[in-house]
Structure 1
Amino acid sequence: MLAHPTLDQLNTLGLYGLAKGFKELEHKPEARGLEHAEWLGLLLEYELTLRRQKRFATRSRVARLRHPASVEDVDYQSPRGLDRALFLKLSACDWITERRNLLITGASGLGKSWLACAIGQKACRQDISVLYYRVPRLFADLAVAHGDARYSRLLRSIARAKLLILDDWGPEALNADQARDLLEIVEDRYDAGSLVITSQVPVDRWHDMIGVPTIADAILDRVIHNAYRIELSGESLRKRRSAATKNEPA
């Protein structure tokens, strides 16, 4: 059979990875000595690779991660208290399938958002659904949704993500509506999905930030007790890098 009818059939069936592999193997002299089973195995690997890439691209687009970060690029040398062994364990994403949480705290400039996005990107690569929100933007969207009957739909879309990243919480206290909204989100995720929360405020002050004692108790009971914690400290990475750049010879 000529090559082009086969390619047409593969593309018609939506087997674009197989079609790509067929074209490439057809022009490799070393492939001519392969057994049929070996050819088929290579073609299937092309198809699986392309499908993984497409799923990752879709997951990443839906996640809307703030930073193009990856766990392979994490800086363990800067003195900020990042436990390498713990972060490597978290990078495997088993804690997400176990429906546990991750709390990242520390002063501004220590890379909290970047680390959260690196975890989110790795989860996307492992075909785990991810959604990223800066907390101020989340509450703004929820406030608008309350007024135009989209509130329930927005909560459902947030709940569908296996990993929800809430970035940059605090230091402002929540009002009563925001506290109730956060409780709804946390309740939907309890024993169903995982949270990453980043904040400049230490965890022991989160109760005060929520403001309504009974709601704060309910939220923190569901978030904290099964959570891993990364507590960063030290000087801002941005400040150090800026100083290093200024000190470079012209």
Structure 2
Amino acid sequence: MNINATFEKLHTMRLNGFAQAYRELTENALEKNFSLDELIAHLIEAEYENRYNKKLKRLITQARFKQQASFEQINFHQPRGMDKNMLLRLQQGDWIKKSKDLIITGPTGVGKSFIACALGFQACSQELKTIYYTANKLLDRMTLAKADGSYFEFMDKLAKTKLLIIDDFGLKQIDHKQCNMLLDLVDERHGSSSTIITSQLPVKAWFDCFKEPTIADAILDRLTNGSYRIELQGESMRKFRKEQ
């Protein structure tokens, strides 16, 4: 059997993980003592892992997270009003599969964005398409899409995104046109996708962020009813890190 020809065929079929595992097995044939079933399982697992890692890398790149974040990095010793059990349940991702939303509020620096990004990375690891935007950049991007004719294409992309992270909501007031666009987005995603919203403002103050009261009611009704809530408190974690 021509082993090099086999390698070439595997790469041609884009079975790169399979090919790498097969090469390692042939180079260490005397050290391995696999049964046929074990050999096949080993090769399939190598190919699966290779494809998974490529997809994960692609999902993380497309998400454009603000920062790298993981649950292992979250400091539960600082008293910030976090419910560790709730966060661990959210980490499992069932709430995303059920198309529930999550609202994270609290003063600046307490870790809202970090927790949102950690949940986003976790969603990517579960092969769920995720996109991160600050609220201001999302509104600007929708406004630009409306102007250049790509609005429906952009909205369709967001509608098909399983987890949308909207960071720093409420830093500026939302004008009439943006209110309508945000309602379009919320309507498209409601009940079929999940959204994480972080804000320095408590939810009860969100209404004042909208210049169009009627649309504000419709948007907030969809976003807040039945959503999970994390209300962080305390001093900035940036100050805590500087003191260490």
Same topology, TM > 0.5: yes
Q: Equivalent residue for 2:158? A: 158
Query: Does residue 56 of the first structure (1) align with residue 46 of the second (2)?
Result: no
Cα shift at 1:173: 2.1
**Aligned-residue CA RMSD (Å):** 1.2
Provide the rounded CA distance (Å) in 2 between the counterparts of 1:3 and 1:35.
Answer: 20
Deviations 1:21-58 (A, max 9, x none): 11112233331x21111111101110010011011011
Q: Equivalent residue for 2:186? A: 186
Q: Equivalent residue for 1:248? A: none
Provide the rounded CA distance (Å) in 2 between the counterparts of 1:242 and 1:181.
Answer: 41
Cα shift at 1:154: 1.4
Q: Equivalent residue for 1:117? A: 117
**Secondary structure of 2:103 counterpart:** strand
Cα shift at 1:166: 0.4
Provide the rounded CA distance (Å) in 2 between the counterparts of 1:59 and 1:89.
Answer: 22
Identify unmatched segments of 5+ residues in structure 2. Answer: none
**Secondary structure of 2:31 counterpart:** helix
Query: Does residue 30 of the first structure (1) align with residue 38 of the second (2)?
Result: no
Q: Equivalent residue for 1:173? A: 173
Deviations 1:204-232 (A, max 9, x none): 11112123221111111111112101100
**Secondary structure of 1:30 counterpart:** coil
Q: Equivalent residue for 2:12? A: 12
Provide the rounded CA distance (Å) in 2 between the counterparts of 1:224 and 1:50.
Answer: 39
Cα shift at 1:142: 1.6
Provide the rounded CA distance (Å) in 2 between the counterparts of 1:154 and 1:83.
Answer: 36
Q: Equivalent residue for 2:67? A: 67
Amino acid at match of 1:139: L
Amino acid at match of 2:239: K
TM-score by structure 2 length?
A: 0.96
Identity among equivalent positions (%) equals 39
**Secondary structure of 2:192 counterpart:** coil
Provide the rounded CA distance (Å) in 1 between the counterparts of 2:91 and 2:72.
Answer: 9
TM-score by structure 1 length?
A: 0.94
Provide the rounded CA distance (Å) in 2 between the counterparts of 1:128 and 1:243.
Answer: 37
- Aligned counterparts, 1:207-222, within 5 A: 207-222=207-222
Query: Does residue 203 of the first structure (1) align with residue 203 of the second (2)?
Result: yes
Cα shift at 1:80: 1.0
Q: Equivalent residue for 1:231? A: 231
**Secondary structure of 1:138 counterpart:** helix
Amino acid at match of 1:65: F
**Secondary structure of 2:171 counterpart:** coil
**Secondary structure of 1:132 counterpart:** strand
Cα shift at 1:171: 3.2
Query: Does residue 142 of the first structure (1) align with residue 105 of the second (2)?
Result: no
Amino acid at match of 2:31: E
Q: Equivalent residue for 1:40? A: 40
Q: Equivalent residue for 1:247? A: none
Moved over 3 A (4+): none
Provide the rounded CA distance (Å) in 1 between the counterparts of 2:38 and 2:145.
Answer: 55
How many residues are paired up?
A: 243
Q: Equivalent residue for 2:81? A: 81
